[in-house]
Amino acid sequence: MTSAREEQRYADLRRLIDRTLGHLARSGGSRDLAEACTYVLAGGGKRLRAVLVLLSCEAAGGRARDALHAGTALEIMHNFTLVHDDIMDHAPSRRGRPTVHTRWDLNNALLVGDVLMGFAYRELLKSRSPHVGHLVSLFTDGLIEVCEGQALDLAFEHRATVTVPDYFRMIEKKTGRLISMATEMGALIGGATPSRTRALRDFGHYLGRAFQLQDDLLDVVARQEEFGKVIGGDIMEGKKTYLLLTAARRARGADRPLVRALLHHGARGLGPRRAVVPAVTALYRRYGILKAAERLIRRNTERATAALAPLPASRARSTLVWLAHALVHRSS
């Protein structure tokens, strides 16, 4: 299949998810709650996790549509975590729109997250798979791990020394788990054998890693007009990304104080933003950190696609391979 046809396939599945999410979000509570739920669920996004569930199901031998409820459930769970994360990070906007706690208030954002979690389980329970018990259990483990990952991320803010392995442990929980869960749930619904289930879960695992590293990298190398977020935001906040933590290990001489200052209190007190971001970007380049990140992304993408080898060739498998590469070349 050509890249254009893969892109079309992705767009089709994404639209299917968007439509399903659009029908949800009615709530018997207050009008505010129902409006805010609709606002969140109809707010767009790549629908990556949901599409991965559908494609993995198909690649495992099932029909993509059989995984629609599970994919939708996972997408709702993802959105619940975003709403609560945005509160914790004091984020004013997401995907170009005000965050829920900005548009409504903290209380509504808190409750929207909570009720979305309920909607996610309700949607998951609609799955007609004989493995629904296993799905709910997987889903629950994922919920707990995502919270643990977020807790680690918060704890890192106040921790003097965070290592690159610490970072990988954190993103594995915070970002990676929902992605490997997506492919594992799809495999389960598609009736995959244990070895194929493992193949799809491994694919998700490496893909999640590449995805998060790419996220870190985009903060520095994205073009503003495509990015949707502020470029250099992670640098300004002193966020302990792969880039900054690697810089902490590699920087020498006069570069060390800058990196240490960033790690301790971000760019506060380091002068105007338009000077700090290019200075740090130049430092990353000088120490080969951007190249190292690119190499790691490439390696994880290769491992992801290699993991798919036990699956028979199929349209879905090709789309998964295409998707892994497309995500690495994304601009937002």
The 10 Å CB-count burial string (b at 16+, else e) for 289-301 is bbebbeebbeebb
Which one, 134 or 330, has the nearer CB to its own copies? 134
User: Nearest distance from residue 184's CB to its own copies, in Å?
Assistant: 17
User: Nearest distance from residue 106's CB to its own copies, in Å?
Assistant: 8
Residues that bind its own copies (CB under 8 A): 27-33, 84, 87-88, 106-108, 110-111, 113-115, 117-119, 121-122, 125, 132-133, 136-137, 140-141, 143-145, 147-152, 154-155, 173
Q: Are 27 and 57 in contact (CB under 8 A)?
A: no
Which one, 36 or 308, has the nearer CB to its own copies? 36
User: Nearest distance from residue 203's CB to its own copies, in Å?
Assistant: 24
Which one, 12 or 114, has the nearer CB to its own copies? 114
DSSP per-residue letters across 222-242: S-HHHHSS-TTHHHHHT---H
Structural tokens at position 117: 């979690």
Which one, 151 or 279, has the nearer CB to its own copies? 151
Phi, then psi, of 44 in degrees rounded to 5: 75, -155
User: Nearest distance from residue 327's CB to its own copies, in Å?
Assistant: 27
Q: Are 127 and 69 in contact (CB under 8 A)?
A: yes
Which one, 151 or 290, has the nearer CB to its own copies? 151
Which one, 9 or 174, has the nearer CB to its own copies? 174
User: Nearest distance from residue 242's CB to its own copies, in Å?
Assistant: 20
Query: For the chain, percent helix, then strand, then coil, each to nearest 5?
Result: 75, 0, 25
Dist CA 142 CA 152 (whole Å): 15
Q: Which residues contact 70 (CB under 8 A, 6 or more apart)?
A: 53, 57, 124, 127, 129, 135, 185, 186, 189
The residue type found at 116 is L
Q: Are 37 and 27 in contact (CB under 8 A)?
A: yes
User: Nearest distance from residue 129's CB to its own copies, in Å?
Assistant: 11
Which one, 129 or 246, has the nearer CB to its own copies? 129
Residue 15 CA from chain centroid, whole number: 19
User: Nearest distance from residue 118's CB to its own copies, in Å?
Assistant: 4
